[in-house]
Chain A
Amino acid sequence: MRVAVTHVIRFIEETAAILQDQRHYLTELDAAIGDADHGANLDRGFSAVLARLPGVAEMDIGSILKTVGATLVSTVGGASGSLYGTAFLRAGSVTADRFELSPEDLVAALESALEGIQARGKAQLGEKTMIDAIAPGIDALKQALAAGDDLVVALRKGVAASGEGTQATASMIATKGRASYLGERSLGHQDPGAASAFLMAQALLKVIESSE
């Protein structure tokens, strides 16, 4: 199957809904090793995104994603606004003028998003950040597609790997972001950024599964 504009719109709406629903969970995670604002910040950002979505719903996928990115950058602040904003802006750049994406195009968009996050945050795998949820997810998705799985099956594997990556952040010592100030005291706590990235992956899967 191919990813259409309507899927992208529903993905954004689903992400906003799941982040709103889980805002207290994300804030709890952040209170343990950060400053207790991750859930509230993302909820504020995606609420602003929802307000702008009707204005771009007829446009190409790139324009939609860029609008999401620019809105997150200007309304969230903090590291998460900058990182997720950059991710959506980069994904929007590689999907400019496109009204439909093949599974490979989707992978390319996700990879651009990840590169944007790494460039902006200067973090690598294993530093207890959102990268630990995103990179394994993309890897599993790519492998599954290469092995011949259809998009839904491949995405399920990607999301499962993203979940495992998120879990694994609990046994990592943070070296980037505010949790890094805790050093070894960050052990035993999941990274809130990884958790929110995993929620977004689940939102994407839900939308693709429901349109199968």
Chain B
Amino acid sequence: MKKLINSADSVVSDALEGIALAHADLVRVYRNPDFIVRADAPVPGKVSVISGGGSGHEPLHSGFVGKGMLDAACPGAMFTSPAPDQMLAATRATHSGAGVLYIIKNYAGDVMNFEMAVELAAAEGVEIATVVTNDDVAVRDSLYTAGRRGIGVTVLLEKIVGAAAEAGASLAECQRIGERVNAQGRSMGVALTSCTVPHVGRPTFDLGEDEIEMGVGIHGEPGLRRAKLADAAEITRQLANPILDDLPFRSGDNVLAFVNGMGGTPLIELYVVYAELAKLLKERRITITRSLIGNYITSLEMAGCSITLLRFDDELTRLWDAPVLTPEWR
């Protein structure tokens, strides 16, 4: 294992120290329990928007704390959801009386820990609403399963709902917008390599030189199926078609197209994928009105990407275009 770390046990802690030192003008970092809040929190009269999740997905969520996006983020251990104490402490530090919205990715651990936090915060009299993202079309969904994972849509939702809260939307309004973003967005990812969790020391799964893993999540867990490596056009089709058919996106739709890197893929390859995606959408007469390309929700050093499409309208576009000032998005 080759990593720029001091020890496997101190990665999250050491990185939090780095964030605190690098971005003191934008955020404050608290320890034990660990959470990050925007420097001017609590903002009077504003709904507090809080998210959190396992570490290893940076810049999500800690890089998106600041004006126009999150009021607080709670980083868990590597690929492990944070504990309720963290969410409760972040709630206390950012709550201004207008209520608090928790943005939760749909994973068993995240859902359970945020659920416990909701119970604890409610017991303190804080009004809490939640939005759960579950946009991954690679997961077969049914009433009897854990349901789909929350992936790329989470990034878009944090930006859009963060803008709404900044503009003075009520808690109910923020929740409504969040649910609409989740309902209108779909994603799917592919891994070209696995990733190495520091305390494990070797890749989570093995992929041959000519193999890819289709339908991966964001924790290095194996995906839906193993496939042969193909060119970017073919891989883009294999990701985009299930997304398009699922919502479904229709001819005449406006969309935000998001090509996200998993952490180990260079930007130049993400733009190759974006070009293929744009061609494919044009064939289907779907118009890309906004785009986002880069590493926003990652799996450590995994190579690969995910594609997210979000059906766009005037309200979402206006919120998307609103200013944002955070360590990793400005």
- List residues of A whose CB falls within 8 A of some B CB: 27, 31, 33-37, 40-41, 44, 73-83, 120-121, 175-178, 180-183, 185
List of A residues within 8 angstroms of B113 by Cβ: 77-78, 81-82
Choose among A33, A40, A82, A181 the residue that contacts B139 (Cβ–Cβ < 8 A). A181
Question: What's the nearest-Cβ distance from chain A to residue B1, in Å?
Answer: 13
Q: B224, A35: Cβ atoms under 8 Å?
A: no
Docked complex Cα distance between A36 and B198 (Å): 10
Count residues on chain B whose CB falls below 8 Å from chain A CBs. Answer: 38
Residues of A within 8 A of B319 (CB): none
Contacts of B146 on A, CB cut-off 8 Å?
175-178, 180-181
> Could you tell me the dominant secondary structure of chain B's interface residues?
loop
- Confirm or deny: B285 has a beta carbon within 8 angstroms of a beta carbon on chain A: no
Bound: A117/B73 CA distance, A:
27
Do A36 and B109 form a contact, CB below 8 Å, given A44-B77, A75-B83, A175-B146? no
Whole-angstrom CA separation of A73 from B109 in the bound complex: 11
A-contacting residues of B (Cβ < 8 Å)? 33, 54, 76-85, 107-109, 112-113, 115-116, 138-140, 144-146, 149, 197, 199-200, 204-205, 217, 219-224
Q: Which residue of B lies closest to A38 (CB)?
A: B80
Which of B77, B107, B140 interacts with A41 by CB under 8 Å?
B77
Are the C-beta atoms of A78 and B109 separated by less than 8 Å?
yes
B83 touches A81 (CB 8 A): yes
Across the interface, do B108 and A181 meet the contact criterion of CB distance under 8 Å? no
**What's the nearest-Cβ distance from chain B to residue A104, in Å?**
30
One of B76, B108, B219, B222 near A121 (C-beta < 8 A): B108
Contacting pair B79 A37 (CB below 8 A)? yes
Q: A residues within 8 A CB of B222?
A: 33, 182, 185
